[in-house]
Amino acid sequence: MPRSNRSRRAKVHGDEEGSADIERMMTGSRTLEWRRGHDWNVQPITANQATKDYVCPGCSLPVTAGTAHLVAWRADGVLGDASDLAARRHWHIHCWRIGLS
């Protein structure tokens, strides 16, 4: 019998898509850091995972696809995890470490 190359994972639709994104970002090698008077979730993104371009809020230069970087979002926001995650920003590792912004 020939092997199927189709994914057997269930597809995510509608409201479940947002919760799947939150779950993905809330797991992994995420750490909690105290910065600028707040707790921040910080998750490293490897060069292989970086598939889009972003603008670093620290230096206003592009974080290009294929560049390892960090994603940071507030851990103690009053509007909840979904709101904080929607406000996440992609930083150059150096800019985050030296505390620009």
DSSP letter for each residue of 46-92: -TTT--S-EE-TTT--EE-TT--EEEEEESS-TT-HHHHHHT-EEE-
pLDDT at 93 exceeding the cut of 60: yes
- Residue 7 inside a domain? The answer is no
Please give the tally of structural domains in the chain. 1
pLDDT at 13 exceeding the cut of 50: no
- Residue 20 inside a domain? The answer is no
Residue-number span of the structural domain to which 57 is assigned: 30-98
pLDDT at 20 exceeding the cut of 80: no
What pLDDT score was predicted for residue 8?
Answer: 54
Question: If pLDDT is split at 50, 70 and 90, which confidence band does 91 have?
Answer: very high
Question: If pLDDT is split at 50, 70 and 90, which confidence band does 48 have?
Answer: very high
- Residue 9 inside a domain? The answer is no
Residue 74's DSSP bridge partners are: 40
Q: Which residue has the higher pLDDT, 86 or 80?
A: 86
